[in-house]
């Protein structure tokens, strides 16, 4: 079974081909021009998707050595994300499926991130706890296989905790803006922090109580702001070494909190396999510290390759493939849902 997956929920245009569960190609263009505006401009993102969608899909097909007549289904993201951006990939995907007379599968962007560790091996076994850390979400999820495997969903999700305010990636982006470094801020803070002292400023770690699996990053972001004001920070005059030290100190606080909660969730739910997904999973300090911490605790850690951390068509194609195997085809009336949830949150 050969599936085309399309991802256009934010500022990456991406398409991928999967055949019988094996990834054949994944082509992504990140719209870097947003950096000059300090954040994603939704209307410009939609226009760029409109220009890129045909060449990106073509390139994904060519790289995979697949003709579109060989496709068995088209999968595209239908939420959450920016409505104008989602609509480009979704309308394109539905039209292509209609034109080729094959099924269309709508994919939830959050579900795709959660399952991005299943794109390529080694893969976690079930149940596992996944931490999705992206620009829009910070969510701890227990992922399990339903009792009867044809139960209507490829997997079962239970949200264990999520952010009450800013997402981890959003905090990286906002702090980067305060420090006068470009958008997206995460990769730039990551790069600067490599030469910084993480103990330079003791920023607060928002744990929200010993046992809590919820997150909150807006207080931490505000402490960075107050620190910068108090110390008379000025991008053009502050030494670059000091900027690196502040970036490293902020990053250390975020990483400490993310790791603490992920390990706590693994303990609470007695799982051996833990996973991280989403753009912030590309963070080198998070990866390094988590590798060490999981080894110490005897846990198996799964983090996708860099290109499957940030938004990508491969994760959409993979979920599309899993849904198709269970006969979960979508109606062509499926429309964009900017606030789509992974699942309803139930109290423990």
> Quick one: 25 or 132, whose CB is closer to ligand KG4?
132
> Quick one: 246 or 342, whose CB is closer to Zn ion?
342
Stretch that binds ligand KG4, among 15-23, 93-101, 185-193, 325-333 (CB under 6 A): 185-193
Q: Among 89, 106, 124, 136, which residue sits at the site for ligand KG4 (rule: CB under 6 A)?
A: 136
User: Judged by CB under 6 A, does residue 172 bind ligand KG4?
Assistant: yes
Q: What is the token pair recorded at 148?
A: 């009867």
The HSE-up count of residue 1 (CA atoms within 13 Å, CB side) is 19
Q: What is the binding site for Zn ion (CB under 5 A)?
A: 134, 311
User: Judged by CB under 6 A, does residue 89 bind ligand KG4?
Assistant: no
> Quick one: 245 or 311, whose CB is closer to ligand KG4?
311
> Quick one: 8 or 283, whose CB is closer to ligand KG4?
283
Buried b (16+ CB within 10 A) or exposed e, 248-283: bbbbbbbbbbbbebbbbbbeebebebbbbbbbbbbb
Shortest Cβ distance from residue 146 to ligand KG4 (Å)? 26
User: Judged by CB under 6 A, does residue 116 bind ligand KG4?
Assistant: no
> Quick one: 30 or 100, whose CB is closer to ligand KG4?
30
Q: Choose the one of Zn ion, ligand KG4, none that binds residue 190, judging by a C-beta under 5 to 8 angstroms depending on kind.
A: ligand KG4
C-alpha closest to that of 107 among 96, 99, 115: 115
Burial-class residue 229 by CB neighbours within 10 Å (0-12, 13-18, 19+). Answer: exposed
Phi, psi (deg, nearest 5) at residue 16: -145, 155
Beta carbons of 73 and 97 less than 8 angstroms apart = yes
How far is residue 272's CA from residue 208's CA, in Å, rounded to a whole number? 25
| Contacting ligand KG4 within 265-324 (CB under 6 A) | 278-280, 282-283, 310-311
How far is residue 251's CA from residue 122's CA, in Å, rounded to a whole number? 28
x/- contact string, 3-22, with ligand KG4 (CB under 6 A)?
Answer: -------x------------
Contact residues toward ligand KG4 (CB under 6 A) are 10, 134-136, 169, 172-173, 184-187, 190, 278-280, 282-283, 310-311
């Amino acid at each position: 079974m050969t599936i085309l997956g399309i991802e256009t929920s934010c500022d990456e245009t991406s398409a991928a081909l999967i055949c019988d569960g094996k990834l054949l190609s994944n082509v992504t263009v990140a719209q870097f021009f947003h950096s000059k505006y300090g954040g994603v401009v939704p209307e410009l993102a939609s226009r760029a998707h409109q220009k890129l969608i045909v060449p990106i899909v073509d390139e994904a097909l060519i790289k995979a050595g697949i003709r579109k007549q060989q496709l068995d289904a088209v999968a595209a993201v239908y939420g959450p994300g920016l409505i104008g951006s989602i609509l480009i990939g979704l309308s394109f995907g539905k039209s292509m499926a209609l034109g080729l007379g094959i099924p269309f599968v709508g994919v939830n962007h959050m579900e795709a991130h959660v399952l991005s560790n299943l794109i390529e091996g080694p893969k976690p076994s079930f149940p596992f706890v996944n931490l999705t850390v992206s620009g829009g979400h910070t969510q701890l999820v227990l992922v399990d296989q339903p009792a009867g495997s044809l139960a209507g969903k490829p997997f079962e999700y239970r949200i264990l905790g999520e952010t009450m305010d800013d997402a981890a990636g959003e905090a990286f982006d906002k702090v980067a803006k305060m420090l006068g470094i470009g958008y997206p801020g995460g990769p730039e803070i990551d790069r600067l922090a490599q030469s910084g002292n993480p103990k330079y400023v003791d920023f607060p770690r928002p744990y929200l109580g010993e046992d809590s699996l919820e997150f909150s990053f807006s207080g931490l972001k505000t402490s960075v702001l107050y620190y910068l004001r108090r110390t008379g920070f000025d991008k053009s005059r502050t030494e670059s070494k000091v900027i690196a030290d502040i970036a490293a100190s902020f990053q250390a606080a975020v990483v400490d909190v993310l790791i603490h909660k992920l390990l706590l969730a693994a303990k609470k739910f007695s799982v051996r396999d833990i996973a991280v997904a989403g753009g912030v999973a590309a963070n080198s300090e998070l990866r390094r510290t988590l590798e060490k911490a999981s080894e110490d605790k005897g846990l198996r850690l799964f983090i996708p390759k860099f290109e499957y951390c940030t938004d990508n068509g491969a994760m959409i194609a993979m979920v599309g493939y899993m849904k198709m195997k269970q006969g979960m085809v979508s109606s062509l009336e499926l429309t964009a849902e900017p606030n789509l949830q992974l699942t309803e949150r139930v109290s423990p």
